[in-house]
Structure 1
Amino acid sequence: MIGQSGNFNNDLTVPPMRSMRYDSPAQLYAAVPEVAAFTKHRPSVEEDNFYYFQRLKGSTTPEDAITFAAFSAEARSAIHWAMQAVRTTLPEPGPEDAELLIAIGQWMDYPGNETRWRALQLALFAPRRSPIVYIGLAVGWSGGIMAPNDPSRPPVWRTASAVNAALLTTLARGGAEQRSVNMARILDAATSLFRGR
């Protein structure tokens, strides 16, 4: 069927976005060596992303599974996951995060330099580092130049480290008595990242 504009392509199904940066954890650790500074465990050459994630989930340091998911997912997917996990785990953000939440939402709806820069500016000048502020930093570092007058680009690992900080801070804020429940909630939400590969 031809779309309203007369173009056949308007009616075609768009293939799903790739959600993983690399095909295996070994490729990730080789290409982004910074991930090793954040994790206790290392992948074997034959492990695929989901198997390694599952192994980390069941380890004595399941935080490594959060870190691995943050680093292995494409920036946009990781940020969406972090936002979902933070909003589910800490449903009442502080009033100081309200403007930044709006800016992050605008970037999610309309990703582009202007919305990205706005989120970054608010996050950089936030009075304290909340999980939402870390997500704002992740948005700001997710791609492109840092500012209209700054042609530098952040390293690829910056977004992942900010997502990781957002989620680990969320765990800490949830309290020790809720830690295992919140950990399971965050890791269950991460499972969907590995389905789209």
Structure 2
Amino acid sequence: MAPVTNTTPPHTTTPAPGLRMQVATEVFQALPPLGGLVLGRPLPEQHCLDFLRQLLTGKTPEEALTFMAFALPARHGVWWGHECLKALPDSLTKQDQEMMALIAAWVAEQDDNSRYAALEAGLRADVHGPGVWLALGAGWSGGSISGKGLPPVAPPVGATGQALNAAINSALARVALDKRRRTIDHFASMAEVLAKTP
């Protein structure tokens, strides 16, 4: 008789300080737009990283990336998007590269000037490729989304997550089909590393 093996991945028991929340259902509750983008649903009290792994083994593993676009806080999420695009150098346009420079400046500075620079560049763009969506994600991360000197307008709830989702998945669409699954797994592993980083 063959020995019984446990192929179920271990449950996450330690906090992941780089997440918005530890429990996946709380992410869905706090950011309602996520519910319309991810069909899979977490179990009660399921840790975000366990739900990430569940989605990766499902029929639509891209949902794991969508979930992490919302589960990571803005700075971690935008940097994750930057690193995902950076991992696909042959598919980046000049526009993507210009936007990535603005995003790197915002992640480093975390001030309103760099956030506005990314937001304004994203809004002025004629073509909305991955880099533009990433710039908009930075721009919608907090503060006001109205122009300088105008009455402040808060970004809609979940706006950064929606922009990150568009950035990651539009970048993924440029990947050859035979490399797509490996790329999804790579993006997911980078998100998990950031989730575990304070």
1:100, distance to aligned residue in structure 2 (A): 2.4
For 1:87, the aligned partner's letter is: K
Structure 1 runs of 4+ aligned residues shifted over 6 Å read: none
What's the counterpart of residue 101 of structure 1? 100
In the alignment, is the contact (CA less than 8 A) between 2:66 and 2:165 conserved in 1? Answer: yes
TM-score by structure 2 length? 0.85
Q: Give the 3-state SS of the residue equivalent to 1:40 in structure 2.
A: coil
1:193, distance to aligned residue in structure 2 (A): 2.9
Unaligned runs of 5+ residues in structure 2 are 1-15
In the alignment, is the contact (CA less than 8 A) between 2:97 and 2:131 conserved in 1? Answer: no
Residue pairs, 1:35-74, within 5 angstroms = 35-74=34-73
In the alignment, is the contact (CA less than 8 A) between 1:26 and 1:43 conserved in 2? Answer: yes
What's the counterpart of residue 159 of structure 2? 158
Distance of 2:45 and 2:67 partners within structure 1: 16
What's the counterpart of residue 139 of structure 2? 140
In the alignment, is the contact (CA less than 8 A) between 2:78 and 2:138 conserved in 1? Answer: yes
For 2:182, the aligned partner's letter is: V
The alignment of Structure 1 onto Structure 2 pairs a total of residues equal to: 181
Percent of matched pairs sharing the same residue? 28
What's the counterpart of residue 122 of structure 2? 123
In the alignment, is the contact (CA less than 8 A) between 2:96 and 2:130 conserved in 1? Answer: no
1:96-125 deviations in whole A, cap 9, x for unaligned?
Answer: 334323222221221111111111111111
Distance of 2:76 and 2:162 partners within structure 1: 14
1:91, distance to aligned residue in structure 2 (A): 4.6
TM-score by structure 1 length? 0.85
1:168 aligned onto 2:150 = no
1:20, distance to aligned residue in structure 2 (A): 1.2
1:78, distance to aligned residue in structure 2 (A): 0.5
Distance of 1:26 and 1:48 partners within structure 2: 9
1:186, distance to aligned residue in structure 2 (A): 0.9
1:40-80 deviations in whole A, cap 9, x for unaligned?
Answer: 10111121111111111111111111011111111100111
Unaligned runs of 5+ residues in structure 1 are 1-16
RMSD: 1.7
For 1:58, the aligned partner's letter is: T
In the alignment, is the contact (CA less than 8 A) between 1:89 and 1:182 conserved in 2? Answer: no
Distance of 2:91 and 2:65 partners within structure 1: 22
In the alignment, is the contact (CA less than 8 A) between 1:90 and 1:170 conserved in 2? Answer: no
What's the counterpart of residue 87 of structure 2? 88
In the alignment, is the contact (CA less than 8 A) between 2:118 and 2:138 conserved in 1? Answer: yes
What's the counterpart of residue 10 of structure 1? none
